Amino acid sequence: MTKKFLLACIIIFLGLNIKLKAQEDRYLGFRLPSGKTHYTLPFEVINNLIIVKVVLNNTLPLKFILDTGVRTSILTEKTFSDLLNISYSRKITIPGAGGEKLVDAYIAPNVTLDIEGVVGHGHALLVLERDLLQLKNFLGNNVQGILGFELFSRFIVDINYQKKTITLYEPQEFGNKRFDRKKSFHAIPITVEETKPYCYSNLVYYNGKTFRAKFMLDTGASHALLLDVNSNEGIQFPEVSIDSHLGRGLAGDVNGKIGRLQYVELGGYQFEDVITTFPDKDFYMQGYDITYRNGTLGGGILSRFRVIFDFVNGYIYLKKNKQFKAPFNYNMSGVIIQAKGLYLKSFEIIEVRENSAAERADILAGDLILAVNNHDTEDLDLNEINGLFNSKPKRTIKLRLSRNGAIIQRKFQLEKII
Domain boundaries, the chain: 2-172, 187-302, 335-413
CA dist., res. 410 & res. 128, Å (int): 40
Name which of 29, 191, 39, 180 is nearest 119 in CA terms. Answer: 29
Strands (E), 77-219: 90-95, 101-115, 118-128, 145-147, 156-160, 165-169, 186-189, 191-193, 196-204, 210-217
Of the options 2.40.70.10, 3.40.50.720, 3.30.479.30, 2.60.40.10, the CATH number for the domain spanning 187-302: 2.40.70.10
State yes or no: pLDDT of 82 exceeds 50: yes
Residues 322-340, buried b or exposed e (16+ Cβ, 10 A)? eeeeeebbbbbbbbbbbbb
Query: pLDDT tens across 373-418, in order?
Result: 999 999 999 999 999 998 889 999 999 999 999 999 999 999 988 8
167-212 per-position pLDDT tens digit:
999 998 887 665 455 568 999 999 999 999 999 999 999 999 999 9
Q: Which fold has domain 335-413?
A: Pdz3 Domain (2.30.42)
Neighbours of 288 (CB within 10 A): 12
Of 144 and 98, the one with more pLDDT: 144
Residue 283 DSSP symbol: G
Rounded to whole angstroms, the Cα distance separating 233 from 256 reads: 17
User: With contact defined as beta carbons under 8 Å apart, do 4 and 301 qualify?
Assistant: no
Domains 2-172 and 335-413 equal at CATH topology level: no
Q: Does the pLDDT of residue 4 top 50, yes or no?
A: no
pLDDT, tens only, 311-364: 999 999 999 999 999 999 888 999 999 999 989 999 999 999 888 999 999 999
Total-model pTM: 0.90
Percent of the chain with pLDDT over 70: 86
Give me the long-range contacts of 54-57 (CB less than 8 A, separation at least 24): 54/113, 54/114, 54/115, 54/145, 54/147, 55/113, 55/114, 56/80, 56/81, 56/84, 56/111, 56/112, 56/113, 57/84, 57/86, 57/111, 57/112
67 contacts 222 by C-beta, under 8 angstroms = no
Average pLDDT of span 8-22? 46
Indicate whether 24 pLDDT > 50. no
Q: Which CATH number fits domain 2-172: 3.40.50.670, 2.60.40.420, 2.40.50.100, 2.40.70.10?
A: 2.40.70.10
Mean pLDDT calculated for residue range 235-242: 88
Residue 90 pLDDT level (bands cut at 50, 70, 90): very high
**pLDDT tens track for 274-308:** 999 998 866 654 434 456 899 999 999 999 999 99
Tell me which of 141-145, 158-162, 252-256, 413-417 is least confident: 252-256
